């Protein structure tokens, strides 16, 4: 099976980089799946989205992503987020508290953090 180079980057740091077989992300136009050889595109990531990367080792890297862009080129895929958290880094207890916040953006981001961590919101 073909592979592609993928980078998951937030403003503050590189979260993951490596070879992958697929990327699924939530964009302003809807959920998009990217496989090796995909046509070039630029998509706007939604606040409170989840990105899933399937590595060449068949592991899944999952992250809650808040804003930014997805860029697909001949070189691979770059997920350039305003902020992002890998699933294993998420404080589920805090996300459960934040999901009841009066701030709509905080609720949206908390919901994404719970989905990325495999929790229901």
49 and 104, same domain (yes or no): no
Total domains, the chain: 2
The CATH number of the domain holding residue 42 is: 2.60.15.10
pLDDT of 74: 85
Q: Tell me, yes or no, whether 63 and 102 share the same domain.
A: no
Per the domain annotation, does 121 fall within a domain? no
Q: Are both 58 and 99 inside the same structural domain?
A: no
Higher pLDDT, 2 or 18: 18
**Is there a single domain that holds both residue 58 and residue 96?**
no
Q: State whether 81 and 95 are in the same domain.
A: no
Lowest mean pLDDT among 7-11, 22-26, 55-59, 98-102: 98-102
Kindly report the CA angle at 95 between 94 and 99, in degrees rounded to 5?
120
Q: How far apart are CA 121 and CA 64, in angstroms?
A: 13
- Beta-carbon contacts of 87 under 8 Å, excluding residues fewer than 6 positions away, are 61, 62, 63, 64, 116, 117, 118
Mean pLDDT of the chain: 94
List the domain range (segments joined by +) for residue 111. 90-116
Kindly list the distances between the CA atom of residue 17 and the CA atoms of 53, 73, 91, 121, in Å, as whole numbers in the listed order.
10, 15, 23, 28
One domain for residues 53 and 107: no
Report residue 102 as tokens: 């009066």
Beta bridge partners of 6: 18, 77
pTM above 0.85, yes or no: yes
């Amino acid at each position: 099976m073909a592979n592609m180079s993928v980078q998951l980057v937030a403003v503050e740091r590189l979260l993951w980089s490596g070879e992958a077989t697929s990327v699924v992300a939530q964009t302003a136009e809807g959920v998009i799946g990217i496989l090796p050889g995909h046509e070039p595109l630029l998509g706007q990531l939604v606040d409170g989205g989840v990105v899933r990367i399937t590595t060449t080792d068949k592991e899944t890297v999952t992250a809650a992503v808040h804003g930014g862009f997805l860029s697909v080129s001949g070189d691979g895929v770059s997920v350039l987020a305003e902020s992002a958290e890998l699933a294993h880094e998420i404080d589920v207890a805090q996300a459960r508290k934040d999901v009841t916040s009066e701030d709509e953006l905080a609720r949206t981001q908390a919901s994404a953090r719970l989905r990325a961590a495999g929790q229901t919101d």
